[in-house]
Amino acid sequence: MDVLDWIRIGASLAVIAVALWFAGRRLLVLYRLLRLARPMPERMGNWPQKLRYQLQHVLGQQKILKWTGSGALHALIFWGFVILQTQSVEAIGEVFDPDFAIPLIGRSEVLGFLQDLFTLAVFVAVVGFAAIRLAQSPRRLGRASRFAGSNLLQGWYVLLGEVGLLYTVLVLRGARYAEGTLPYPEGAFLSRWVGEQFVGLPETSLEIIKTAFLLAHVATLMGFLVFVAYSKHLHILTVFPKVAFARLPKALGPLQSERIDLEAMDEDTVLGVGKIEQFGFTRLLDMYTCTECGRCQSQCPAWNTGKPLSPKLLIMDLRDHLYASAPHLLDDSKVDGHEDVDVLGKMLVGDRPGQQDAVIDYDVLWSCTTCGACVEECPVDIEHVDHIVDLRRYKVQMESSFPQEAAGMLRNIEHAGDPWGLGASKRMDWAEGLEVPVVDGRIPEDAEYLFWVGCAGALEDRAKKVTRDVAQLMAAAGVRYAVLGGGERCTGDPARRMGMEYLFQQMATQNVATLNEAGVRRVVTWCPHCFNTLRNEYPDFGGTYEVVHHTQLLASLVADGRLAPQTAVDAKVTYHDPCYLGRHNDVYEPPRAVVDGVAGLEKVEMPRCRNQGFCCGAGGARMWMEETIGTRVNHDRIDEALALEPDLVASACPFCMVMLDDAVNDRASRGDLAEGQVRVVDVSQILAQSLLPVAAVNGNGAHPSVTAGAEHE
Ligand code: SF4
Ligand code: SF4
């Protein structure tokens, strides 16, 4: 061995040892924090499905490719680095054996070609990413930039590191080509081109170049490893366990049921999350995995209307707090037992806006509509909604700290069984003049569906008209159904999204008992919130039913010819996707199909539609809270609709209807619209109008027109 060999091996070993020590230390801390977190047994199992998910989303980059430009660049870098790992293996091998080649494939021209092809591709992708970062810089776009609040320098370090890895290995391979030891001189076209620039250099110079660039490559690689362990780039390691413990079939799903047994509660019982270490371990994995890409932020209705909530910043703040708390959490002697503040003397969520000693501001927590746009967009499936509800559960149930204007809604659900406090006796008012079968004990044998009317459908004036239409349409199609009438109670959805899990569980238990005693198997709902709760969340409480939304049922009735639209509806219509029907349950086409067969309609889509639909502002119990910061979410949404100059804004949710209708009225009162120029309707109402005359919809054989300028009932 000559002196260069000693330098190469000695320096490389030293760099590798130091890097492994720093990275390993960090990874051990992260692992120990995961062990401290709450176990989540429900996330175990389903390994074959998770493997498939891993292949689709990690290897296949399926979700990230939704954002075509940056998605394609990311996929290039990901696939590129999978291939280019072979170069790093070769480089490490070369430290110890200058003639090292990967067994079996190491001398194949194809490998050399692929390595150089992807070197070129990754260079192009890095330049593309740099261009995106400059074009979308927060300095230029301010709050509108998806990178606003991200660690921008880390992003640039990553790009620089990638260039460093590519450059050092390319020069190394070029020197090997020039000295005639590159194992695949024909296939490695780029290395050959670099090597041709070295041809003619003395052998010693080539040796020095090789040694210097091999050391530089090993140092860059090891530096990158350490950087990954300490930065947002940790996702390239944590994305694998993240997927292994993912919620299936997708990240946006039913909230986790935190079983509450009052009898078993003692002074140590904690409901929800009041300290960072009380999160479940997959929530910590979320914090580790956020790439700070800001896709979630760019779609968030709260952020886009000037509220302080950004789902990205929420996750980053929790993560930074977790890391800052780690030395204390992992050292028992430093953990104090104070109830209200954590190891750093901070509250996790403030009790009022602007509190300095709170990790998450009060207005951040309470601005969320639980619309799920963040989860839908996140390329690494971070479950922001679950984090938010975990925090709300603690504030509401342990501290009674929440926007007090929503207290009435909770009280009403508890005492009257509905958010408005109108009570069971009013629940059949919508059916006045109609023949609607009400379940008396058991559901009638011949009933195909239990029609779950919902609190809004039974009690809110605008929604009641839709309930009548849906009932009439089912009757016209010969669908046999029954309702629970006064036996129906709020599903508990607003209480659950608000964080009042105990009340939700009371309602769920009561409703499931009613439905099971009645022998219900199939349910049709008109409210997407009821649909979501009955379909996805009641199974945890022993209520497993086949649940469809009214738009799914109506679409199938139209498709089967049981409902045949007859009268043309001469109007321009745009459809607003309710979050709990669309993103939460992937029902996008049936509402559109309901009106597809109606002649005369001109259908136009808003730019933000389907899985990128923009919330109306009512979800997450926001319907019952003041909205005093920024612009109103429903105004933002209706302005997008009004830009298309529609006659009708259609939806399929009573809460969306109320929010959008209020927004139309606000715009009309501002003078932007003539009274009645634009109407907010449910898709079923359009179908009902087209089926004129539907028998006795109003008891007089005529149906109220939904088209512009016509009189409402
Ligand atoms: S659920 Fe909707 S409102 Fe809440 S943080 Fe996510 S995108 Fe924003
Ligand atoms: S939460 Fe997901 S979408 Fe949001 S910044 Fe992090 S990685 Fe990107």
Q: Is 697 helix (H, G, I), strand (E, B) or coil?
A: coil
pLDDT > 70? residue 168: yes
The Å distance, Cα 298 to ligand 2 centre, comes to: 10
Which atom of ligand 1 is nearest to 311's Cα? 5
Q: Is 452 helix (H, G, I), strand (E, B) or coil?
A: strand
The Å distance, Cα 376 to ligand 1 centre, comes to: 10
pLDDT at 698: 37
148, two tokens: 């606003």
The Å distance, Cα 252 to ligand 2 centre, comes to: 14
pLDDT > 90? residue 695: no
Contact 237, 58 (CB under 8 A): no
Q: How far apart are CA 571 and CA 112, in angstroms?
A: 62
Mean pLDDT on 517-541: 98
Q: What is the pLDDT of residues 54-80, one digit of tens each?
A: 888 888 887 888 777 888 999 999 999
Q: What is the pLDDT of residues 342-361, one digit of tens each?
A: 888 899 999 999 999 999 99
The lowest-confidence range among 196-210, 325-339, 416-430 is 325-339
Q: Where are the alpha helices (DSSP H) in 358-460?
A: 362-366, 373-377, 384-399, 407-416, 455-459
Q: Give the closest residue (by CA) to ligand 1 atom 2.
A: 371
Q: Which amino acid, 221?
A: L
Q: Which of 368, 376, 580 to mutate to test the pocket of ligand 1 (most atoms within 8 A of CB)?
A: 368
Residue 262 pLDDT grade (very low, low, confident, very high; cuts 50, 70, 90): confident
From the CB of residue 711, how many other CB atoms can be counted at a distance below 10 Å? 7
Ligand found nearest the CA of 367: 1
Q: Which residues line ligand 1 (CB under 6 A)?
A: 299-302, 309, 311, 368-374, 384-385
The Å distance, Cα 577 to ligand 1 centre, comes to: 15
Mean pLDDT on 37-51: 93
pLDDT at 712: 34
For the question of whether the overall pTM of this predicted structure is more than 0.85, the answer is: yes
CATH (residue range 267-402): 1.10.1060
pLDDT > 80? residue 600: yes
How many Cα atoms sit within 13 Å of 424 on the Cβ side?
10
Q: How far apart are CA 198 and CA 160, in angstroms?
A: 25
Q: Give the closest residue (by CA) to ligand 1 atom 8.
A: 300
Mean pLDDT on 571-587: 98
pLDDT averaged over the chain? Answer: 93
Q: Which residues line ligand 2 (CB under 6 A)?
A: 290-296, 311-312, 315, 377-378, 380, 382
Which atom of ligand 1 is nearest to 370's Cα? 1
| Buried b / exposed e along 436-449 (16+ C-beta atoms within 10 A) | beebeeebeeebbb
CATH (residue range 562-690): 3.40.50
pLDDT at 340: 61
Q: Give the closest residue (by CA) to ligand 1 atom 1.
A: 370
Q: Give the closest residue (by CA) to ligand 1 atom 6.
A: 374
Which atom of ligand 2 is nearest to 289's Cα? 7
Residue 399 pLDDT grade (very low, low, confident, very high; cuts 50, 70, 90): very high
The Å distance, Cα 203 to ligand 1 centre, comes to: 62
pLDDT-above-70 percentage for the chain: 96
Ligand found nearest the CA of 303: 1
Which atom of ligand 2 is nearest to 294's Cα? 5
pLDDT > 60? residue 336: no
Ligand found nearest the CA of 310: 1
Q: Give the closest residue (by CA) to ligand 1 atom 5.
A: 311
Residue 3 pLDDT grade (very low, low, confident, very high; cuts 50, 70, 90): confident
Q: Give the closest residue (by CA) to ligand 1 atom 7.
A: 300
Q: Which of 146, 299, 378 to mutate to test the pocket of ligand 2 (most atoms within 8 A of CB)?
A: 378
Which atom of ligand 1 is nearest to 299's Cα? 7
Which atom of ligand 2 is nearest to 146's Cα? 5
Q: Give the closest residue (by CA) to ligand 2 atom 3.
A: 378
Q: How far apart are CA 335 and CA 308, in angstroms?
A: 31
Q: What is the pLDDT of residues 453-463, one digit of tens each?
A: 999 999 999 99
Q: How far apart are CA 451 and CA 304, in angstroms?
A: 37
Q: Is 123 helix (H, G, I), strand (E, B) or coil?
A: helix
pLDDT > 50? residue 699: no
pLDDT > 70? residue 565: yes
pLDDT at 701: 39
